[in-house]
Amino acid sequence: MEMKPLKRLGALAVTAALAFALVGCRGEKGDTGAAGANGANGTNGTNGTNGTNGTNGTSPVANVANMTPDQWGNLALKGSITSASVVNGKPVINFKVTDAYNTPVVGLGWTAKSATAYLANYVNVSASIAKLVVGADGHAEWVNYVVTSTPTSATATPNPQKPGTDNVGTLVDNGDGTYKYTFFRDITTAQAVLDAATYSGNNKRADLGDVTYVPTLTHRVSIQISGAARGTGSNTSDASNSGVPSVNVKVPANFTYDFIPATGAAVTASDPGRMVTNLQACNDCHTRLSMHGGGRFDPNYCAVCHTDQRKYGYAEATIAAGTFSTGTNKVNGLAEGNMVTMIHRTHAGEILTKHNYNYAGVLANETTYPMDHRNCVQCHSASKGQAQGDNWKNKPGRVSCGSCHDGIDWVLGTNHPGGPAADDASCATCHTASDISGFYHVATVPPNPNNAYLGGTNNNTNASYVAGITSNLPTGAIKPTWDLKQFYINGSGQPVFIFRFLQNGTATPFKTYAAGSVTEFWDNFVGGPSFYVACSLPQDGITAPADYNATASVYFKNVWNGTLSTATLSAPDSNGYYTLVMTGTKIPASANMVTGGIGYTYGLSSTQPLTQTNVPGYAYNVEGKKQGGLSVPAPNVWKMAATSSLPSGETSGVTSTQVVARRAIVSNAKCNACHAALGVFTEKSYHAGQRNDAPTCVFCHTPNRTNSGWAVNIKDSVHAIHAAGKRVNKFSWEVSAGDYYWKVEYPGRLNDCEACHVAGSYNFEISANANAIPNMLMSTVVSGTTATPATINTIKVGDGVAEPLPGTYYSPWVAPSTVYGASYSASLSATATTLYTEAADTTLVVSPITAACSSCHDSNMNIAHYRANGGTFYETRAVAKTRYEQCSMCHSAGKVADPKTVHITFK
């Protein structure tokens, strides 16, 4: 125990006195007495008895009954259901709960009971149960038993209701993190209770289905642990409002368990089941799915209540001319809230044929989707641990198919080539698994009315996920890839690529060009990729910028056929590798981050992506238009310039310091978790899927690229697009092309930076990032001369929504009819007389860190904050050069506003 100061002083005094006394035993001036004889050794003492063993301490537990609201609000729960049974008609669930550190959680048995309630209810725990009914056609659906209300007295009769939860039963806390919950409801009597009830109006007995208890069927029980801390919100013993805002648990728990009551055994692979998706598939896009106030998030939990029984109490939706005029809780006699219909329709908003869907405030037509809708394996795949994950192709049915193809009338047969369909028995006869996965649901996208581009590949590192995407190709389609063995700069400063192209993984040599007979380098293909080189050159007083600002490229087909004089192509070596030299390009000694890549071509007047012309169903050159065919975008590949192990006789034209890679910021795996294949969509693609590598989007989306008063720099534009729901000012770049970026909906948690960014990439105390700060370029937002006011902010009104007409829509911080001066320009041409020209000091810029933050946080208060702390926002380059951003004083690791703390990262 630490001493107090006075006690320390006393101890020192005693020690000093003792020392003095010992010194005093010695004679003065070294005088000593005669040495005495040594005394005899004393006898050893006896050993003491051993002490008794202490009692074992108790295992630590996290007792929520003793937690403060703040502790509850930071709790992350996990666990599982260990067993389930039905005893005397009442479901019994055994489950365990721990916190994020695997400490058992106890004390969940808190109840509330209002003055008018008959039964007390568990505020933070609820349960449900459903049976799986398999039809004669093999299709299965959940039917919930909890379809009666909680009685209001001992003699009151429960009322029929939509599926719900039971939280008025009995919860036993075993004190070690395990619990047993026994339902209040007797599910064996549910059918009789419903049959005896009185129904009127839209309350129809048939809508609640057959809830007869069948113990031999697969059943699913669920447990939800969520809600407010005790004493906050209405979580009080009498269920009255405490006056204290609700503090909800940070990460609630959803548990499900499939079992067969007749045997008490858990469901096995040989038993009927329905696990067609899982939480990870949802969270690939949603980061952390959160519904119903955050308490419900597991899709297999949701499926227990979101059954066809949710149509109970609703009238059939009214529709005229394809537009609903009432709520759409019940459409074509089916529940819009059924899990299958609700999720499919919500995700298919852009392709629905009917309009004004509205289920519980969810406007399906207004939702957008970040990939091709036909990419079913994004959500459904047995390879993702979903036992029935391949049902989408193996068991087609009217409910699932009609959710997206909502123009079909199954009774009349309208818009269905097979005519009327009274059941699902014959669906698989016409729609085979191979047809669905190999033709109807192949993720394609037209970049123009006549060409189809297919998202057949991506750079996701999950092998099974990649296999699911890449196997989904039309019959006869070939998957190309680019193999870049080496990239370097030769002694003349020319970029050199050693490479080969592959078809379905096999290196395929090029044909020899012959005018009039051999006009393409592969049979049955047209077009090809481009070869790019990118680097950074001095700018704004920065010798070695941490951002690219100069590029050069050649279109491979024009190199192969000899029509391009600025590059040469050699014959292949013994391993099939060719050598391409960009002879018209020269990398100067002042260049840094020198990088070379293959891919990137998309349809321009003089270039065309590699397109296959002989795939059945994808005709090419119809009516002599030289359009059509099918393109499977190959992943872009790139390398930093090599400085060693070069081919014999070659010397490097750059030093090792010139080829330090740009800091890692994002990854393809993170982008493609939501996009599947960057740039590939049904309705709207970007760059035809050919520019699909996130780290090298910065080749073109540089800090000097602007449009309509906006920075087209990658960090500015991507942040602004994804943050549309948070921004104050509409990001109106590319309105002239019909892109309304302010309508983009982000499906995940916007403050979870690591949904897109690699870990630590936004922590500027890490050396790679800290070293980049003084070398990061400002984002230019406007240069040149802006247009006249006549083309600005012209609005039309249609369908009650204001939309812009084609034209130039400047950001609100840019003045029209104004000369801002020339932007930065650079040339890597071997014949260039000027390597680069600095931007005019009158151009407007945003400083580097401010550019990232202001793309999401763009209010007037935010802008004032940036400027007050050394940032520049839409001010002249001359002003920006006199300032220094002081962001890291507060916004760095461990500081008061650490970005990782402010932008919560959790899954």
Question: Which pLDDT value is given to residue 625?
Answer: 63
C-beta of residue 145 within 8 angstroms of C-beta of residue 213: yes
Which pLDDT tens digit goes with each residue over 208-256?
999 999 999 999 999 999 999 999 999 999 999 999 999 999 999 999 9
**Cβ 250 vs Cβ 76: under 8 Å:** yes
Q: How far apart are CA 765 and CA 773, in angstroms?
A: 10
Q: Are 139 and 156 in contact (CB under 8 A)?
A: no
Phi, psi of 589 (to 5 degrees): -65, -20
Residue 306 token pair: 């979101």
Buried b (16+ CB within 10 A) or exposed e, 366-395: ebbbbbbbbbbbbbbbbebebbbbbbbbeb
Which SS3 state, helix, strand or coil, does residue 245 take?
coil
pLDDT at 675: 85
Residues 732, 794 contacting (CB under 8 angstroms): no
Q: What is the pLDDT of residue 458?
A: 31
Query: What parts of the chain have a pLDDT lower than 50?
Result: 1-37, 445-451, 453-471, 790, 793, 795-800, 907
Give 861's contacts (C-beta < 8 A, 6+ positions apart): none
CA distance 300 to 339: 10
Q: At 585, give phi and psi (nearest 5°).
A: -115, 145
At 84 the pLDDT is 98
| Amino acid sitting at position 188 | T
Segment 564-611, tens digit of pLDDT? 999 999 999 999 999 999 999 999 999 999 999 999 998 777 889 999
Structure tokens at 628: 């059509």
| pLDDT, position 678 | 82
Q: Enumerate the β-bridge partners of residue 534.
A: 551, 595
Say how far apart CA 870 and CA 879 lie, in whole Å. 11
Task: Taking the CA atoms of 90, 96, 98 and 104 in sequence, report the sign of the dihedral they define.
Answer: positive
Which pLDDT score is estimated for 185? Answer: 96
Confidence at residue 626, expressed as pLDDT on a 0 to 100 scale: 67
